[in-house]
Amino acid sequence: MKLPGFIICAVLACGCAAHPDPIIDKKGVDEEALSQDWVECEAYTEEVAIEMGIAKGSAAGAAVGAISGAIWGDVERGAANGALWGGTASGLDADRERQQIFKRCLALRGYRVLN
């Protein structure tokens, strides 16, 4: 059970690394204003509760995993695997949502976000 957990952690780390900071076209941009807007937009992303999403995803995954585990004869393993996968998927979804919010915030403030 330790190996799948390690693989999931590695996938999460790669997923976060795959989402770099937004690239802004800086032609005609006031660097001080961008810096201030960057901080303010970043604060909005903190409203996405990644931990809550992971907990809900884990619970749902555990329930589904337990059902499939009951079919295959190992409820505990099925629930554990389901919780791991459900939590991971929810965490990655929340990270993507944070990235979208951040980029949308900058775009709505007039910046040209290139990625």
Instruction: Give the pTM.
Output: 0.66
Choice among 2-11, 27-36, 105-114 with the minimum mean pLDDT? 2-11
Query: Does residue 16 register a pLDDT over 70?
Result: no
In angstroms, how far is CA 42 from the centroid of its own chain?
Answer: 15
Each residue's pLDDT tens digit, 49-65:
777 777 778 888 888 78
Which residue is it, tokens 């960057």?
38
For residue 24, the cross-strand partners are 113
Cα–Cα dist 110/98, whole Å = 19
Query: Does residue 10 register a pLDDT over 70?
Result: no
Each residue's pLDDT tens digit, 71-103:
878 888 888 888 888 888 888 888 888 999 999
Radius of gyration of the chain (CA): 19
Query: Does residue 70 register a pLDDT over 50?
Result: yes
